[in-house]
């Protein structure tokens, strides 16, 4: 593709994102739903060449990584350790409420057993990228319910360190030994990275804290991408690797890194969300729309319940419980990845997951924005019974 055409198509995409971002600002909402719809519109009315699509795909992956890295910068290692310890029961509730709906839906739709297991994974996972973007856009990183949201997302990623190697080995017809080796490697890498972040994060912060802002930006960005890439190659989430790098950094270097990375994060995060919309083929929507809508309603309610109960146990008031529940609703990058593993088993799994992800990614951020009226409605006094 000529370089001029590549620049032209990418420029159109970025300008479209700028326009919807301005519209979101006027409406006072996070731009995530509008980015997603912009992706759908661009995919329907504009045929991008292969090179721009590949660039957007890579940009989307970088966006997810940077979102989780900047989220990690907001928490110290001690805060993370305490959060994970406190949220274990909520993590178990999350799995119990949100994995079975996908499993049952797959069975009702007549999907093969392994495809049902994959659909359970699709409905289980909150999008950490969307959750972190909502918290950042709405200024809620320091709220009391945020550790609950964070704990649920991290525990889900830990569960994925078990789930993905097992599922991948089963799909490939691997032996029990192969499954065991993959599982041990994934969990071992996660545990080692977590330990290093907690124990030696201060040394890393000292090494990266150089006077030059340019050198700091390059050093931090390079480290995040290296750790994320290594984590992905070792079957651990790239996003959780980046998150742990953010946890490891503290003090002055964390504040400076946040300021330096934020413009890059915002650019690639927008690309990350529009990429979802670009993947959706509108011709396939009618066949899966009803099933995806029902699944989104059911699992939106179950995920909201997880956030509500978790925040209630943390002593958060009604409005914070609504924020926690709504922020957890959106599914995203991992759900698409899991569905992609089963396309050979059930071709409809891909479109079903894409529409489902789009619906939840629209519903969650919108509900999170309007937490006040929702909380007021939930706590409205009951009307007294009238007598004849």
Q: How far apart are CA 273 and CA 174, in angstroms?
A: 34
**Buried b vs exposed e over 297-310: b needs ≥16 C-beta within 10 Å?**
ebbbebbbbbbbbb
User: Computed from CA positions of residues 182, 183, 184, 188, in that sequence, does the dihedral angle turn out positive or negative?
Assistant: positive
Least confident range from 213-217, 236-240, 260-264: namely 236-240
Q: How far apart are CA 188 and CA 349, in angstroms?
A: 31
Degrees, nearest 5: CA angle 157-160-164? 150
Query: Between the ranges 31-40, 135-144, 284-293, where is the mean pLDDT highest?
Result: 284-293
pLDDT digits (tens, 9 = 90+) for 179-218: 677 667 767 777 777 777 777 788 888 888 888 989 999 9
Give, in order, the Cα–Cα distances in Å from 296 to each of 39, 86, 164, 360, 379: 20, 28, 23, 6, 25
Query: Between the ranges 26-30, 41-45, 126-130, 339-343, where is the mean pLDDT highest?
Result: 126-130
Contact 355, 339 (CB under 8 A): no
Q: How confident is the model at residue 219 (pLDDT cuts 50, 70, 90)?
A: very high
Range 147-150 contact pairs with CB under 8 angstroms and sequence separation of 24 or more: 147/75, 147/79, 147/82, 147/83, 147/86, 147/87, 147/314, 148/83, 148/87, 148/90, 148/307, 148/310, 148/311, 148/314, 148/316, 148/324, 149/307, 149/324, 149/327, 149/328, 150/71, 150/75, 150/80, 150/83
Q: How far apart are CA 210 and CA 94, in angstroms?
A: 42
**By C-alpha distance, which of 111, 86, 76 is closest to 351?**
111
pLDDT digits (tens, 9 = 90+) for 68-124: 788 778 766 666 677 667 778 898 999 999 999 999 999 999 999 989 999 999 999
Which domains are seen in the chain, by residue range? 9-279+287-369 (1.20.1530.20)
């Amino acid at each position: 593709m000529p370089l001029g055409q590549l620049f032209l198509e990418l420029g159109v995409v970025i300008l479209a994102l700028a326009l919807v971002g301005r519209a979101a600002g006027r409406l006072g909402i996070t731009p995530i739903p509008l980015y997603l719809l912009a992706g759908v519109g661009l995919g329907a009315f504009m045929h991008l060449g292969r090179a721009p699509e590949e660039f957007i795909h890579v940009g989307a992956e970088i966006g997810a990584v940077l979102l989780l890295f900047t989220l990690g910068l907001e928490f110290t290692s001690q805060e993370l350790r305490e959060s994970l310890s406190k949220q274990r029961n909520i993590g178990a509730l999350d799995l119990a409420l949100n994995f079975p709906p996908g499993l049952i839906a797959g069975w009702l739709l007549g999907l093969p057993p392994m495809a049902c297991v994959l659909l359970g994974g699709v409905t289980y996972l909150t999008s950490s990228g969307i959750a972190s973007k909502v918290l950042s856009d709405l200024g809620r990183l320091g709220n009391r319910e945020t550790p609950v949201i964070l704990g649920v997302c991290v525990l889900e990623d830990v569960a994925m360190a078990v789930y993905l190697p097992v599922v991948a080995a089963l799909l490939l017809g691997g032996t029990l030994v192969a499954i065991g080796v993959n599982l041990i490697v994934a969990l071992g890498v996660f545990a080692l990275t977590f330990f290093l972040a907690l124990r030696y994060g201060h040394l890393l912060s000292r090494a990266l804290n150089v006077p030059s802002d340019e050198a700091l930006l390059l050093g931090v960005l390079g480290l995040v991408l290296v750790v994320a890439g290594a984590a992905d190659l070792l079957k651990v989430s790239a996003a959780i690797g980046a998150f742990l790098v953010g946890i490891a950094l503290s003090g002055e270097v964390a504040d400076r890194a946040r300021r330096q990375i934020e413009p890059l994060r915002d650019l690639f995060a927008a690309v990350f969300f529009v990429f979802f919309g670009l993947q959706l083929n509108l011709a396939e929507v009618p066949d899966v729309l009803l099933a995806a809508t029902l699944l989104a309603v059911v699992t939106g309610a179950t995920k909201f319940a997880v956030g509500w109960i978790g925040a209630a146990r943390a002593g958060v008031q009604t409005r914070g419980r609504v924020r926690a529940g709504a922020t957890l609703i959106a599914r995203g990058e991992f759900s698409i990845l899991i569905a992609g593993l089963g396309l050979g088993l059930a071709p409809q799994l891909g479109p079903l997951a894409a529409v489902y992800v789009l619906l939840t990614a629209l519903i969650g951020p919108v509900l999170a924005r309007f937490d006040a009226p929702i909380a007021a409605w939930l706590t409205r006094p009951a009307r007294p019974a009238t007598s004849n």
